[in-house]
Amino acid sequence: MKTKTIIRALACTALFTTLGQTYAHHAFNTEFQDAEGEVRGVVTRVWWTNPHIRYDVDVTMPDGSVEQWSLHPPGNLPTYRRQNWTPDTIQEGYAVYATGNLGRDDTKKLYATCINILSGPENGRQLGGCVSSNTTPQVTAEPNQVYTYEANDYAVDISGFWDNRYRFRTTVDDFDPKPMPMTAATRDIYENRQFGDDHVLRCQPAGLPRIFGSPYPVEILDAGSHYTMIFLQDNTPRWVYMDGRDALPDQPLTSMGFSKGVWQDRTLIIQTTHLAPGWLDGSGYPMTGGDGTRIVERWTVAEDNLSIDRTMTIYDDAYTAPLVRTRGSQRGNFNELLESPPCDPTVFYNEMLEAGRLEDILSPQ
Q: Is 118 found in the same domain as 8?
A: yes
The answer to whether residue 139 sits within a structural domain is no
The answer to whether residue 108 sits within a structural domain is yes
The answer to whether residue 219 sits within a structural domain is yes
The answer to whether residue 136 sits within a structural domain is no
Separation of alpha carbons 171 and 191, rounded Å: 19
pLDDT at 27: 63
pLDDT at 303: 96
Q: Is 166 found in the same domain as 115?
A: no
How many domains is the chain built from? 2
Q: Is 310 found in the same domain as 202?
A: yes
Q: Is 313 found in the same domain as 202?
A: yes
Q: Is 320 found in the same domain as 244?
A: yes
- CATH number for the domain harbouring residue 53: 2.40.50.140
Q: How confident is the model at residue 133 (pLDDT cuts 50, 70, 90)?
A: low
pLDDT at 25: 43
Q: How confident is the model at residue 6 (pLDDT cuts 50, 70, 90)?
A: very low
Q: Is 256 found in the same domain as 124?
A: no
For 83, the domain range is: 4-128
Q: Is 111 found in the same domain as 47?
A: yes
Q: Which of 39-43, 50-54, 127-131, 135-139 has the highest mean pLDDT?
A: 39-43
Distance of CA 254 to the CA centre of its chain: 5
Q: Is 336 found in the same domain as 265?
A: yes
Which of 110, 128, 146 is a domain's end point?
128
Q: Is 114 found in the same domain as 218?
A: no
The answer to whether residue 135 sits within a structural domain is no
Which of 84, 110, 128 is a domain's end point?
128
Q: How confident is the model at residue 363 (pLDDT cuts 50, 70, 90)?
A: low
Asked if 224 and 148 touch (Cβ cutoff 8 Å), the reply is no
Which of 113, 128, 143 is a domain's end point?
128
Tens-place pLDDT, residues 66-99: 999 999 998 888 788 888 898 999 999 999 999 9
The answer to whether residue 54 sits within a structural domain is yes
Q: Is 164 found in the same domain as 19?
A: no
The answer to whether residue 133 sits within a structural domain is no
Q: Which of 43-52, 134-143, 297-306 has the highest mean pLDDT?
A: 297-306
Percent of all residues in the chain with a pLDDT value above 70, rounded to a whole number: 89
The answer to whether residue 81 sits within a structural domain is yes
Q: Is 313 found in the same domain as 230?
A: yes
Q: Is 312 found in the same domain as 166?
A: yes
- pTM score: 0.77
